Amino acid sequence: MTLSANEARQEMFSRLNQAQVHHDLLCALRDSLAVDDNLVKFNRNLRFFNGVESALFNSTIVLLYSLYETRYDTINFHRLIEAIETRASAEQLGGYRRRIEAIKPLWVQISILRNRMVGHQALNASALSVQSETSLSIGDVDKLLECSKDLLFDISSAHYDTHVDFMDGSKPAVNALFSRLAP
């Protein structure tokens, strides 16, 4: 069964929203460690928080990778743009493609992390050296998420007479978790 273009768009929204939430939770978790009491709680529950941090990082990388991969048998921005070719002008399609091309360098960094560290472990490099090679920053991930959300918002608004509303504000959830842990 093949998904309709609108179903593919909805799946893109779901994956992008998950990436945003996981990234926000990861950032909030890391930011919360600046508070001494939280750092003590983190260290007392090291296995749990290391696992959570790793899972959030890996999930964010895999989800962002999937948005721009070029396979023909997966849901990604390239396939979504192909699916709307009959309802979009050449100017709109060109604009969408230029936006994807503009953020491609960030996606390439995500791709390296996914292919050499998260999805597969490279034989010739440690995880730390792969991370160092990409030099991908939190700000880079924020930029890729924002560009992706803007692109999906514009496609949804222009071609599906709807808009997407992404979840944000995960810091209170992390703060609530730390507040429940014994000092």
What is the pLDDT averaged over residues 105-134?
A: 86
Residue in the structure block whose two tokens are 């396939």: 79
Confidence of residue 85 (pLDDT cuts 50, 70, 90): very high
Q: Which has more confidence, 143 or 43?
A: 143
Residue 183 has pLDDT above 90, yes or no: no
What is the pLDDT averaged over residues 89-99?
A: 97
Residue in the structure block whose two tokens are 């709307």: 84
Per-residue confidence (pLDDT) for residue 175, from 0 to 100 = 80
Neighbours of 137 (CB within 10 A): 10
Determine the residue type at 161.
D
Q: What Å distances lie between residue 78 and 20, 57, 100, CA to CA?
A: 20, 24, 9
- What pTM does this model have? 0.88
Q: How far is CA 30 from the centre of its chain?
A: 17
